[in-house]
Chains A and B, each alone.
Chain A
Amino acid sequence: MPTSPETLTEARRLRDLFAAKGGRVIKADVLQPAGTLLDLYGEDIRARSYLTADPLRGEMVLRPDFTVPVVQMHMESRADPARYTYSGKVFRKQEEDETRANEYVQVGYEVFDGQNPAAADAEVFAAIADGLSGLPVRAATGDIGVLMAAVRGLNTTDARKAALLRHIWRPARFRALLKRFGSGAVAPSRVALLAADDPFASVTSDIGLRSRAEVEARIAALRADAVAPPIAKDEIGLIDAILNLRETATNVLSALRDIAVDMPAIGDAVTRMDARLAALDARGVDVAALEFEGSYGRTSLEYYDGFVFGFYAVDRPELPPVATGGRYDALTAQLGQGRAVPAVGGVIRPDLALEIRTC
C-alpha cells in the first residue's frame, strides 16, 4: 500500500501540482551521510531511522525525510528566492506500532523566501490544502515562535531562558525547569554542593575530558542561579495560558493580544500571526474555523520554530497525519554555516490521501 502503483500515480499528480505552483522538481539520494542528522537530532534519529555503516564513507542513513538534503542543496545553490518540489520514499523505523509503514512516499513543497514570511507560510499551507482538496481532513495549526518569544520575554536570567528554549520540544523537561525556576526549590545534592567550603574536598581522582575548569564554571553558574529571584507566578501563568490555547485561529489571535498587554515581548510574534492569518484569508482559507493549539508541534523533531501545521483524517484518528509542515528558519542557519534563509515547507503522504479517499 505505501508504495503501490496507485500511490506512485497520486504522488506524481501532487508533484506536478506543486511544480505548477512554481516548485522546481528536485531529487535527493536515498542514502545520506548520517553525521549531519546525528548532530542535529542526536540519538532520537537512531531510534527512528535505518543507519548503516559504509566501509569508506562512515555512517550512512536511509533518508528519514527530505528536509535536510533539500536545505543543503539550497544552501549550495544560493538561489533566492526558491521553490522546490520532490517526491520519493522515506524510511522510518517503527519500534512501537508494527502496523505503521516503515517505507512510504512523501511529496513536498518547500519555499525559501525571506521577502514576506507570512505570505510564504500561507502559500505552503494553501498548496498542501489544495493537494488534499475534497478529502475528509481537518487542519491543526500552531506557532512555536509565539512560545519562544514568550520565553525570551520572561523577566529572568539569560541562562534560564536559554535552558527553557533548549527544551521547548521536550514538554516534560520544560515543565520541570519552569517549576524549578518558579519555586527556587532544588535537589538536596545541590544545596549541599553550594554550601560546601571546598566542593572538591572529597575528589580523589580526576578523569575524563570534562575538565576541572568546566566543573567550576558550572558551579559558578549554579551559584548565580541560586541568588536569582524566582520567575514570577504571573509570568508562568502567561506561559501556561499560551500553552493551553486551543481555539479557532481568530479567537487565539485576540487572546494573544490580551496576553501581549502583560507580556509585550510576544508583540512581534503576534503581529506575524496576524499577518499570516490575513495571508491565509487572502488565499481562501477559512481562518475563523481554523484550529489553533498553543502547544502544537512541540513533540515533533526539533526543527520547526514558527508556524506549524498538520492535516488529519476526520474519521480515522488512528492514522498518522496525512500532511505536515512548518517553518524551519533555525535549521537553515545551522546547516548554512552562519548563512540563514527563512524557509517553510510541507509534505503529503499520498498513500494516506488515497486511503481516506477510497473509504
Chain B
Amino acid sequence: MKFTLSWLKEHLETDADLATLLDRLTMIGLEVEKVTDRAEGLEGFVVGHVLDAAQHPDADRLRVCRVDIGGEEFQVVCGAPNARTGMKGVFAREGSYVPGTDLKLKKTKIRGVESSGMLLSEREMGLSDEHDGIVDLPEDAPIGAPATQVMGLDDPIIEIAITPNRGDCLGVRGIARDLAAAGVGTLKPLDAAPVTGAFKSPIEVHLDFPEDKQDACPYFIGRMIRGVTNGPSPAWLQDKLLAIGLRPISALVDITNLVTFDLGRPLHVFDAAHVSGHIRPRLAKPGETLAALDGKTYELDAEMCVIADDDKAEGLGGVMGGEASGCTETTTDVYVECAYFDPVRTAMTGRKLNLMSDARYRFERGVDPAFLIDGMEIATRLIQELCGGEASETVIAGEEPAWRRQLTLGAERVRTLGGIDVDAEETERILTVLGFGVSRGADGFTVEVPSWRPDIVGEACLVEEVVRIHGYDRIPTVSMEKTEPLPGRALSTEQSRRSIARRTLAQRGMTEAVTYSFLADKDAALFGEIADSVRLGNPISSDLDVMRPSLLPNLINAASRNAARGIASSQIFEVGPQYAGDAPEDQAMAATGIRAGATGPRHWAEAPRPADVFDAKADALAVLADLGVATERLQITADAPGYYHPGRSGVLRQGPKNVLASFGELHPRILKAMDAAGPIAGFEVHLDNLAKPKARKGAAKPHLTLSPYQKVSRDFAFVVADDVTAQAVVAAARNADKALITEVEVFDLFTGESLGAGKKSLALTATLQPMDKTLTDAEIDAVADKIVAGVAKATGAELRG
C-alpha cells in the first residue's frame, strides 16, 4: 500500500515529523517497507523567471535567456523549443549536479555566447523521459523557491506492508485512524454529505441470486450521473495517482481509483449508454464470457458473481469491469456502482481466472459493509466537481450485511494475556479512537466492533488492539518460569541417535550434506518403486517431482557435481527422511553416506585405493556401534537391495527380519544410468529400525573381571569352499569353547590354483583367555583340536597342509 505524506495528512491532523510517523506505523503493525524521497538530489534547483529569451546570434535553434532567480540574474543558452520570455522554469546553477545527464554543470560558451547554468527538462531532473522541452512551471510559482516544492516533489512516498487481516488499511484513511489511536495526531472528519438527486435513475438494480447464494452480492447502491464530460483528470489527481504508481486514465476512472486508495472503497463506473435495460447482479451462466477492462476475455462459471444488464455480463463483481460498458472520453451519462461482494467468492473468482485487481485485493480482505452510501456520495461529489453532470437519486438494492457484534474485554485480560497493565482510561481511549463503541463495566468493557474490522472476533483480538497501540515495546520483559530446577532432557532417544550418527560419520572423515527431499522421478525410480502418493502435483521443476525413496541418489548426484568441479573423491553423508508413501509412518529416518573415488589423495608414503564395500561396511558398523548396537552379534547377509552390486554388498540384520543397515558398492548399471563415475561405495543405516533402549536400572556398567593369567593365541589356516562365509568359519571356531575362546579374527585370505578350483584359504587367529590358571600345552592343544573339528563339521573345512 502506497501513499504520500501529504495524502496521509489529508486525514490526519499531526505535527509529528516523518521519522516519528514511520516508526509508529511499523510498531503498530503497518510495516514501512520503503520511503521514497523524490526531492533527494534536486534540492538546489530553484524556480527561474525567464526575463528575456532572445535568438542566439549564430544558431537558429538556440535562445539566449536571461533568468532571474530572485535578486540574481544568469545568462543561459537554451535549445528547448518552449523556452520563451516570461515563462518560469527549473534553474540549475553552475556547479550543480544534473542527475538525468550525470554531469556537473560548468560555465561554458555555446557558439560563442557565455552560458552559466541550465534550464532543465524532466529527463534532466531524472523524473521522467520527457525531453521535448524544459519544465514549464505555473505562472504563479514564486521566483527563487525550491523547484521540488513547486512541483510537489517534496512529498515523500511511503510504502507499507498490509497484513491480510487489515483490509481497512487498504485506504489511506484507515492508516490515519490507526496512527491517531497511536497518539500521533487526530483523525480529521470525513465529509460525506449526501448529494440531492435531481431525478429518478432510469436504470434500476435487481439482485438476481438463488435463495442460498444471496450473500454473493447482498447490497448494491447505484446512481446515474448524466451530462458529464470525461477528459483527463486535473493535475492534482494525476500527480496523486502517479505518486503511488497508478496510470491516470480519465477523470471518471481516476476518481474510482482515488476513492479505492483513499477510503478503501472500490467503485465501478459504467457508460450508461452501453447498459441495456437494468443492472442485474447475478451468478454467471456456465460458459458465459466477459471481455474485461484489461483487454482479456474470461470464461466464467456458475460460482462467479457478475454485474449484468438485461443482455449480458458487464463486469465481474468485485474484480473487474467489462470493456463494452467501460467509460471513455465520449461518455456523457455514467452509472456508478458501489456494492458489497462476498470476500470468499471474490477471492475464488480471481484465483480461478488468475486475475488480480485493486478491487479484488480489497473485497477478498473485506471492505466496510457500512460505507456504501457514504462512498457513493463522496464519489458523486468528486464526479460532479471534475466532470460536471447531474446526479440521480441513489438506487438501493438489498440490505447492508449484518456486521454489528459485541465483545467483552475482561478488566484483567490485557494484563494476563498481554503481560502489561494498561489503565482503563487508556484502554477506552485506544478502542474509541480505533472506532469501537466502548462501555465500561465493573469487570471490564463491553465493546461494539466497528463495521470496518471483520478481523476482530474475540477477546484476544481486543487485547492485541490495546497492546499494539499502547506499544509492544512497553510490555515488561519476563524470563520464562522454571518448571524444574534443572531442565530435563530436550532430545528423545531417536533425536539423539541422529545427532550421534552425524557426528560419528563426520569424525570418520565424511562431510554432511543436506539435500532436497524431492528429486527427479527418473533417478528415484532406480532406487525402488515410487508410490503415486509421493508424486508432487505441482513440482517446481521436473527435476524435483517425487519424494525420495532413499538418500543415495541425491548423494550420488552431489558426488558427480563435485567431480565436475574437480573433486574426484567425495566422502559425503546425510541424515534425513525418506518417504515410502504419504502417511506419517511411511516417513523413515536414514543415515546414508557414500564414498566415491579413491580413499584419499596420492601420497608419497602410501597409495590410495578405490573405495570399496568394506569402507561402506565399516561406516555402517561404526554408526551402529556408536548407537549402542552389539555389532558382533549382527547377522550379515548378502541380499542387499538391487541398486547395490550383487556380489559386493550386504545387509546387517538384528534377527532375521529387522534390517538395520545395508552397504556395498553401487550397481554399475545404476551409476551408468545416473551418469556417475564409479566405483562408489555406499551405506544406509535405517535409524528407525533400531530397538528402543531397554529401561536400565541405573547407569552402572556390568562388572569387569580381569584375568591375572596369560592369554595365548593359536593360528589356523582352513581351506573351505568359496561360498562358505568367513562369518560361518569364525562362528564355528568361537563355538568350539565359548568359555576359553574370547576372540577369533580373520587375518588372511588366499585363493590360488594350489588349493584347487572353488576353494579358498582363511587364516584365523584364536585367542584363549583362562580365568583361573595358566593353560598347559596339552590343554591348549585340546582346544585347538576342538576348533579344527568344530570348523570342519560346520563348514567342511580342512586344515591347510
- A and B part of one assembly: no
